[in-house]
Structure formats: C-alpha cells, structure tokens
Chain A
C-alpha cells in the first residue's frame, strides 16, 4: 500500500514553511561534501537546483539530453513570471497570489504547497535581478509588470517575449559557475532511462549517452527528477520535440506514485495546425490577450470571409460577452473551451475551420503600432514567419494546443516522491497547479522548487539517511543496467515496417480526439482500446534503423514513444475515473446548464495517485484527500 503522507507542517498557513524549516534537520557544511546528488534535467527546476545544491557544498551530477544545459525547454516560455511583490500598489499580496493560484487550479492543488510558492515568489525576482536577468523596466529604472490571465492585479515580471530564456540563462549562469568550481559535473547528451532503487531508496540512475550509445550507471544519495511534463503524449504540442515522459514514467514503474495524469493544460493562443507535415505547435504568448481581442464571426457563413470585411456588428467577442469581468483575460481552460465551442458551431476560421481571431486593431488605433511592436514585436515576427501573414494588418488566427501538464509524480511537502530519496521538481511534480495552471506560474514554480525549496527539504532527508552512495559496480545497479540494455537491444532489433514517428502521430490523434479539450466515458474507453492495439502493433511492426552504439535519433524516439504508449493509457484511465469536470479536465457528462465545468467536491476533492502493478495489470488508484482551511471552496466564476 502506497504511503501518501503529505507531511504538511502544523500551524497556521503563514507559518508552516517557517516552522518546517526550523524543524528540518540540517547537514553541517563540512559534511555536505560527503553527499552526492543526481539532478536529472537542466531547465529552471533542475538548473536552479543543481546550482544551489552545488553552491551549498554537495557533490552534484547534472544530466540533460540536449547538447547544452542552456537549451532545456523552460527556455521557450514567453510571457513572464508571477511574484507577489505588489510593486504596482494594486492590491496584491502573498495571500492573493495564493488564492488566485488555488482558485485558478479549480481547487485541486495542495494548499500548503501553494502558499509556500506564493511566499518565496518574491525571493525569486530578487535572485534573478541580482543574477543580471534583464527584466523589463520603467523609465525610472524600476521593474515593470504586466497582467496575466486569471488575475486582476499586475504581478507578472517579464523580459520582452522571452522571459523563459532569460530566467534559464540566469540559472544556467549560476550552474556554469558551479561547474567551473567543480561542485557540479555536467553530463550533456545523456538521457536517463531508469532509476536504481535499493532497499526502497533511490540510489542512482541508468543513462544512455546519446552520442556514443554507451549505457552508464551513476549512483548518489538522492535523485532529483526535474524532467518536465508529458505534453508530447499528444504528439502535437508546444513542447520541444525531445520532451518526454520516460524519466518520470520509469520512476513510476519503480514505485513512485503518479498523480493526476489527466490534468493537462490546453493553451488557448497557439498558431493553428496548417497540415499533415506539422511536427509541433507554436505558442503565442498569453500576454497578447492584454491587448488583443478574441472574436469569431457571428454567422457561420462569414467564417471564410477576409476578417477585415466582417463589420463590427457581425463579430462575436465571445470572451467579453460571456465573462465580462475578466473578458479576454479569462483563464486558459475557459478560453480554450470557448474557442472549441465557437469552432464546433461552425464559426471557426482558417484551415479546417479550427481557429479564432485575436485582433489588435483596437489597441493599434488606441496606442499606435509602435507601442504594440515594442510589446510584442518578436511574437508578431514569429507569427509572420510561420503563417506568412502580417498581424498588424489582419487579426492573428489562434487555436488551443496542449501546452503544460499539471499532473506529475506525487510529492509530499518536501517534494519527495513515494520512493524515499527520489524527489520531483518543477513540471515533473503535481502539487501546485491543481487542475489548471495560471499563466506565468510555471517559471515561478520551477525556480521556487530549485532555488528555495529543495535546498532545505533535501537536507532533512540526507541528514536522516546518512551519506553512503553505493558503487556503480554493485549488483543492485547491474541488474537495472542489464534491463535497460535489454530494452535498448529490443528496440534496435525491431526491423519491422513502421517508423516510431508514425506510431507517435497516431497515438497523438487518439489522445487529442478522446482525451483532449473535452472527454467522455465512451470516448475514453475507446481510446484505451485503441492505444492497446496500437501498442501491440508497435511491438510487432516497429522499425528502428541502425544500431545502438552511436547517435541514433530513431532509437531515441522509439524508446520515448514506447513509454508514451503506456502512459497515454494511464492518462485516459485517470480521466475515466475522475467523474467530474475541473480545470483542464472537462468531462462532457459533468457540466452546468450553461456549459461550465461542474466540480464534485464531495467525491473528488483529492489527488488521484496511481501505483504501478505489473505490465498487463490495471494500476491501483489511491487518493490524497485535499483539504481547504484557508480558502472557501467555491464555484470558479470569472463572469
């Protein structure tokens, strides 16, 4: 039976983190060098954790599959990072950021974790400014803010349209400093394929060097998985091509509980699919909704007209109409679903009728084109490159796409999974965003976990368990290493007819159709059957060219797709069992009369945590009850 003790500290919510830090054990400075820590992933969570732990004196090994730690997909975040600084004097506070995040997550996140996140949010901005992150500034030289979806205050800090890159470069620079100091050893093009668990504790990982094909074993006193989300199970998403679920899924197979896999976020403002060749979807930052107005034609027959030929009276600014107080800044799940509804009614625009307009003409006539160019120039440029259209002259076309996954490995207040010694940080864990993440909160959470949470909580675990990394040559490690080698050999000997990409594409179509923006029981059951058939076919007919002893991109993809095939089924199963609608999880059977999500707090105010059983067996679903003492459970209204 899985132990789901969340270890939430006692005391009033404002004091929990303080109390916890005081009651946590410390590792004294001289002893820190006796401990080894493995960090998998080098994005905002992994990069900041590796840098900070190295700085504290631990011996850190950090791994990434890219050719440099600076390329992790955190880099692609555009819009910004939230912090309860209240620099705008507009009514923000730690409590309000906490409240907005819990409400935005549709009351499915863990209160204590979210409160801590809001508390440390202010430290993150300070830290990043000191590192030289060139945040946008006002003429007086102080930091500028913008507003973001799901909030009525202006608390988002940003660096043009590339906040993610600038924050990541900050973490990467701190990491680089520790690499040159010898505190962190960086391993690039090294992909984690399994975790080593000895006597119930995480003690190492097995990797494959993507350039040489070598399988390598690494051991340590603790393993941090900072490996991002699983959005690519849908094939088309805003994730980087290499993003995958393998690290967290392999930990799940070794005993880590996987929480709420069905909580996936669909971002409302992406460039629509253009054709069958498409390999990924590109996000247009949500910040565009500050100045753009979303609309579709009122009449379906106008959908094929040039947008500038449709008079004002024939346009339906549906977000402003349905949610007057939040308007175009309604949260992501609500905006996405509204776009789908409009397109389902035949009012969608562009290729295949799957698109809505995001129109800047009002802002341009109010503020001038140069002001809009200053704010979003790079986004407009990117849009033009991809679509060949000029958004200063005609409205952008946008459509929702898979963007972020709130589900992830279950962690307690210390960010530890159900495998002692195995921690999960950033998007890889589940705790802070509930069923829907608010814009500009992913960067905040990644850096919070890495800079300000794990450095405290890992000490407690290490101090209690004591130093004692096992040898990479020990028998326990060799067994896991052997199983990884077998898996790789199995893949390289697959000389069937179909490429891994074609399987991935088909899986993505099943997922998007039945487990996308709207789900229902019949569809989910159908999806599970289809995924199982597809997996059988994969096992028989997959083609992987070449061998495993050098750079082989097809082999890498085949391994990732293999895990996605298992994971997709788990996601559908979770969606099937959650008989309610909340946040990004919309079950058609559970909606209000006017089509809004209908939560069932009596039966589903819990995190669903899946425990792996053997292949072919249905995994076991456990629950962590979520209690709300500091916010009132309410129907989430943005009207």
Chain B
C-alpha cells in the first residue's frame, strides 16, 4: 500500500517543531506500525536525510516504551492496542497518517517523537511500593487473598506506564496512571499498612510533576491499551479523601 505521512520533527525541547510530509510506497499490510516507521527511516537514509527518532523496545505491547499519537489518538484508534501492536492492515491504501509525539506539559519532547516520561517514575518513587526488606517476607501462602481482590489488583497492575492516558486527556491528567498504581497495592492485604501514606504521597507527587486535574471525561480509559477502568480513579479519590481526613484528625 501507498501512504502519505505527516510526521512531527523537533530538534530538542526548545525547538518549535514542525510537520514534515513523506510518501511511502509498498508498505506491507502485515507489517506493524513501527515496522512501517522503520521502512520510512530506511527511505530517509537513502535520501540523505536524518531518520525520525521514536521510542520503542519490546514491540510486543508490554514494555510501554512506544508512544506515538496517530491521527490524533495515542497509540491510534484501535482499542486495547499499543502502537507496536497496531498493524498496517488497519489502514487503507492512499491514507494520510499524522504522527505526533505524546503531548503533555509534564512530558517534554526530547527529539522528534520521543518524550520524557520520567514524571511517572517520580510518582512511583513517592509511594508506589510496599516496604518489604528482601528476605523478611513470610511464606507466600501465609496470607490468603480472596481471588476476586487479587484479580482486581491484577487488572490495575496491568498498566504498562506508557502515558497514553495523559496524552489523551485535555488536561493532561495522570489520574488513571496514578490510580492504577496506587489501586493495585491498596486492594491487597499486603498494601494496607502504608495505604494512606501512599495515596497522599503519590497524589502530591503527581501534582508536583505538572499534570493537570482530572475532570472525569474518561478519554484516558478509552485510550488505555490495557483497558484500565475509570473505577480506579473513583477509588483513588475515595482513598485520598479518607487519608486526608485521617491526617487532619491524627
């Protein structure tokens, strides 16, 4: 198939950036979106131009490194799909495809389509863990966890930290990410001891990183390649209020 690509180019964080247009012939419909980008880059090399840089690694939808906004949608319009798992058979011959980075104030552009998502790491560092010294754990079966709770924790833990939730949100809020991370631990008995502290610390780290406020539009959940539910945002809000009140009376 033949494609017309409008690709975002930006030298560094301070550059204004611009779109560049390229035509690509003979794209196999069995190739993935990133393999199509590889093909574009090989063509640019032949033309003597610098290839487009984009983040990618595992190419099997789990590392969360790929991060393109395709025709205005983070990871494209397919449901439950990361960019690397999007295949060209979902496009038509002659299509024009617009490719941009994930856009958010808290995710500054490094170059072209690569953004800096270290703000997510800082949220986890604030409290996205259970304090357990290596070697001090009781037997794995010492604490039964109801299957339902465990399954719900797993649903939240499926978040791959790609940032599509932020990129799809008008306010660039990180509530879906933060609520999935906190929710995973808060739903398990192991996570109870630090629950209040965790919630307060993670929410405040999220605010400090420059993410916007959540207005419950739900774009984030629709864009999420792992289908993280909005319920976790509701749960985080509840847990946050409880923790806040407790901290006042403590």
Contact = CB atoms under 8 A, between A and B. Distances in A.
Interface string A533-570: 00000000001011000111110000000000000000
Interface of A: 48, 51-52, 55, 66-71, 73, 75-76, 85, 87, 123, 125-132, 134-143, 159-160, 162, 164-166, 169, 172-174, 176-177, 179-180, 186, 188, 211, 238, 240-242, 274-280, 282-283, 381-382, 385-386, 388, 451-452, 455, 499, 501-502, 543, 545-546, 550-554
Interface string B115-143: 01110110011101111111111111101
A126 B133 CA distance: 11
Contact of A280 (B60, B121, B125, B154): B60
B153 to A, nearest CB: 5
B65 interface: yes
Interface in B12-50: 12, 28, 30-32, 34-36, 38-39, 41-42, 45, 48-50
Given A66-B65, A130-B132, A275-B28, A71 B137 contact: no
Given A132-B191, A141-B147, A240-B58, A388 B134 contact: no
14 contacts: A73-B57, A127-B137, A130-B130, A130-B132, A137-B145, A141-B146, A160-B158, A164-B62, A172-B124, A176-B121, A241-B56, A275-B28, A277-B36, A279-B35
B38 A501 contact: yes
B159 to A, nearest CB: 9
Given A137-B150, A242-B57, A277 B28 contact: yes
B55 interface: yes
A85 B140 contact: yes
Contact of A141 (B36, B45, B55, B144): B144
B111 interface: yes
Interface residues of B, number: 79
B61 interface: yes
Contact of A75 (B62, B121, B147): B62
Given A76-B60, A129-B140, A140-B144, A70 B42 contact: no
A586 B158 CA distance: 38
Interface of B: 11-12, 28, 30-32, 34-36, 38-39, 41-42, 45, 48-51, 53, 55-65, 80-81, 85-87, 89, 110-111, 114, 116-118, 120-121, 124-126, 128-141, 143-147, 150-151, 153-154, 157-158, 160-161, 184-185, 188, 190-191
A503 B38 CA distance: 14
A52 B143 CA distance: 23
B172 to A, nearest CB: 18
Given A68-B120, A68-B121, A71-B64, A177 B129 contact: yes
Contacts of A52: 134
Contacts of B36: 277
A553 B35 contact: no
A119 to B, nearest CB: 13
Which 9 A-B pairs have CB atoms at the shortest separation, nearest pair first? A141-B144, A130-B137, A173-B129, A277-B31, A134-B154, A126-B137, A180-B125, A129-B140, A240-B57
B233 to A, nearest CB: 19
Contacts of A186: 121
Nearest to A169: B157
Contacts of B38: 277, 279, 501
Given A67-B116, A131-B130, A382-B60, A551 B53 contact: yes
A174 B139 CA distance: 19
A545 B45 contact: yes
B110 A211 contact: yes
A55 B130 contact: no
Given A127-B137, A165-B160, 10 more contacts: A129-B137, A132-B130, A134-B184, A173-B124, A275-B30, A278-B35, A386-B87, A451-B134, A546-B50, A554-B51
A94 to B, nearest CB: 15
A176 B128 contact: yes
Contacts of B118: 67-68, 188
Contacts of B151: 134
A141 B151 CA distance: 11
B125 A176 contact: yes
Contacts of A282: 59-60
B135 A130 contact: no
Given A51-B134, A71-B64, A551-B111, A130 B190 contact: yes
B141 A127 contact: no
B132 A134 contact: no
Contacts of B121: 68-70, 176, 179, 186, 188
Nearest to A283: B60
A70 B64 contact: yes
Contacts of A131: 129-130, 132, 137, 190
Contact of A174 (B49, B126, B134): B134
Nearest to B48: A545
A166 B154 CA distance: 9
A162 B158 contact: yes
A71 B86 CA distance: 19
A132 B190 contact: yes
